[in-house]
Amino acid sequence: MKRLFSVFGAGCLFAGLTLSAATLTVDRNGGDGVFRTIGEAAAKAAPGDVVLVRPGVYREHVAPERGGEAGRPITFRAEEPGTVFVRGSEVWKPVLTPVAGAENVFATPVPEDAFFGEFPNPFRRRLNAGGRDKQEAPRPADGALLPYSLGQIFCDGAELRQLQTEKEVRRVPGSWIITADGKSLLIHFPADYDPAESLLEMTVRDRVFAPARRGLGHINLEGFVFEHCANQAPFPQLGMVSTRSGHDWVIRDNVIRRAKTVGLDVGSEYWRTDLIPRTLPEDQKLLRKGGRHLVTGNLVVDNGLCGIAGWSCRGVRIIGNTVERNNALSLTTNECDWEEWAGIKLHEADEALVEGNLVRFNGAHGIWFDNGYNRARITRNVLFGNVGSGIFIELGAGSVLVDNNIVANTTPYSGLYPGRGIYVHDASGVRVCHNLVFDNAAEGVYMHNVTDRKYHGKIVETSDELVVNNIFCNNGGGVSLPYPGDRSENCVSDRNLFVGRVGFRYSGKTPWEKIAAGAAERLTPEERTRAEILRSFVPEVWPKVSGREENSVFLAEREFGVRIKPFEPSLYLSNRSGREFALEPVPGVDRDFTGNRYGEKVLPGPFQDLGKKNEFRLLFPVM
């Protein structure tokens, strides 16, 4: 009996330790035993605790000073998902002066710095992605287009657009601008604006959820709507929601929207730790510490520059999110020194996994890995209607697997980015397998060297590339890999299915005369003449010229069809060719888009159960 009592007592003691975690309730209306702000609860929360937030609007920068522990995270949870709004804005009640001769257009002085409290006045900061002075003022200014500031104004929940000319503001309802002298705001309200009833909000904070300390781990965010943030563009990466070089966070089922620049950052902020704002001296030594987060089930939408960003984010997992309409400002190199626009952009993303996301209608590249990606994977994503590139891999060596994705309807952005499905430059070891790539404005895949930069002390190459077992349908070109050379070795493209008219050419800047001379002895006079006219090669001769696509199949449009409904989103496939495929599998690719296992012989594309009749596929969520 004594032994049994001792065991029972030990069990109670263990259970007591396990149940010691507390639930801290937050209610903006107050009440017995509750906190009025999320920040107040965060200051008290300990490992294992849950901060449970009741519905309402919370205007604050939540800045935890401590994280959780492995198995005992600090969890911030909305009591009812989607009903807790954490905003970087405050209610704004300006004195408005009507502008003569312009209906519903008003002028008001730029608010004084005191209105923004501890945060910098965003109307006195120029939006700047790059290495220039982050405190540069946007005014006074002249020129055809006036620079963007970091300011945001909302009317009855809708963001008013910051335009770059006073003439357009006078013409377009729902817009505003800082006057050229920097003294006033010119605002053209929507037609239904009611001075007595309408709610005006102005963003005052440059972060909404970002810890006070760098490097905190084991924090969970669940079910919030984070919105309105006057954050500066990279670098540093200062997301509206920021892990601040932390590790092992779970960011689940949130809405992250309407940040001025970056919605969510999941990395290590900046290699220049001395330039990261609001950093304690003892935290400046933290370098490349961020990563191993799980980001899942979120809607990341309408952010001004980038949806999800991460510099040095080893092991991050971005799974099952909807990422859409980011780079909402349509920023280009006209406004920014550096290119940091994408739905998802990760730097130094070793061992990262981006899987099962719906990435659509971003005014930028869909998914972009830059400056390192070893053992990373981009798989089972649906990318539609993005600008520049569907998937972009830049600057690195090692291995990245791009498999079982659907990449469609990418549109042009600029010279380097004319709307390719999958684009690679200055990067080696990229494996592109079992993707469905269709209706993109330019090539299905394009890989080449652009610069003489170095990666880990070696001049970059476009070598050891593999493009196999894909379906390419009605793109503005085939698969373009570089002409063999010292910086472009072992590039293979084969066993693909091409649908529709397609031409092939080498990527990069190899002179046509060199290409033609190398191909001359392999072609008939008629084939040489045709190639000279087109400056490209038809499928019948491309294998003879390049040694590529020797086992690929080419079908007419009537033999194979594909159609996507991007809003449902769903896909219709029809294989009317009667062709049967038995291709060699790719090591490391064991399941298709829908989770079916690959066998000893496989079909091209992301669906291994594709029949000979019409097939309907619901694309998201990916099961």
Cα separation values, 573 from 68, 479, 557, 617, 618, Å: 47, 22, 12, 8, 12
Separation of alpha carbons 616 and 34, rounded Å: 51
Q: Does any domain span residue 141?
A: yes
Residue whose structure tokens are 């199949």: 553
**Predicted pLDDT at 183:** 97
Q: Which residues contact 508 (CB under 8 A, 6 or more apart)?
A: 448, 449, 462, 482, 483, 488
pLDDT, tens digit, 9 for 90 and up, residues 478-505: 999 999 999 999 999 999 999 999 999 9
Q: β-strands 570-575, 358-360: how paired?
A: unpaired
What is the reported pLDDT for 623?
78
**Partners of 186 in the β-ladder:** 107, 177
DSSP-derived letter for residue 275 is G
Domain count, the chain: 1
Alpha-carbon distance of 106 to 328, in angstroms, equals: 25
Encoded amino acid at 602, one letter: V
Q: Which two tokens stand for residue 236?
A: 């540093």
Q: 186 with 176: CB under 8 angstroms?
A: yes
The pLDDT > 90 percentage for the chain reads: 89
- Location of structure tokens 């080696």: 428
* Residues contacting 139, CB < 8 A, separation 6+: 146, 147, 149, 178, 179, 180, 181, 182
Distance CA 147, CA 529 (A): 51
Site of tokens 């200014």 = 141
User: Residue 163's domain is classified under what CATH number?
Assistant: 2.60.40.1180
Confirm if 74 and 51 have CB atoms less than 8 A apart: yes
Q: How confident is the model at residue 285 (pLDDT cuts 50, 70, 90)?
A: confident
Strands (E) in 284-405, as ranges, are 294-296, 299-301, 306-311, 317-319, 322-324, 342-347, 353-355, 358-360, 365-370, 376-379, 382-384, 389-396, 400-403
Q: Which residues contact 311 (CB under 8 A, 6 or more apart)?
A: 234, 235, 237, 265, 267, 268, 269, 270, 271, 346, 347, 348
Q: How confident is the model at residue 461 (pLDDT cuts 50, 70, 90)?
A: very high
Q: What is the pLDDT of residues 155-193, one digit of tens each?
A: 999 999 999 999 999 999 999 999 999 999 999 999 999
Evaluate whether residue 515 is within a structural domain.
Answer: no
The pLDDT of residue 610 is 82
Quote the percentage of the chain above a pLDDT of 70. Answer: 97
Longest dimension (CA), the chain: 100
361 assigned to some structural domain:
no
What's the rounded Cα separation, in Å, for the pair 558 and 581? Answer: 18
The phi and psi torsions of 280 (rounded to 5 degrees) equal -70, 145
Query: Tens digit of pLDDT for each residue in 248-258?
Result: 999 999 999 99
User: Is residue 468 included in any domain, yes or no?
Assistant: no
Q: In this predicted model, which residue has the larger pLDDT, 579 or 420?
A: 420
Domain that holds residue 160: 93-203
Q: What's residue 159's pLDDT? A: 98
- How many C-beta atoms surround the C-beta of residue 414 within 10 A? 11
Tokens representing 304 are 């001004």
Report residue 456 CA to chain centroid gap.
25
Q: Is 118 domain-assigned?
A: yes
- DSSP, collapsed to helix, strand or coil, labels residue 10 as helix
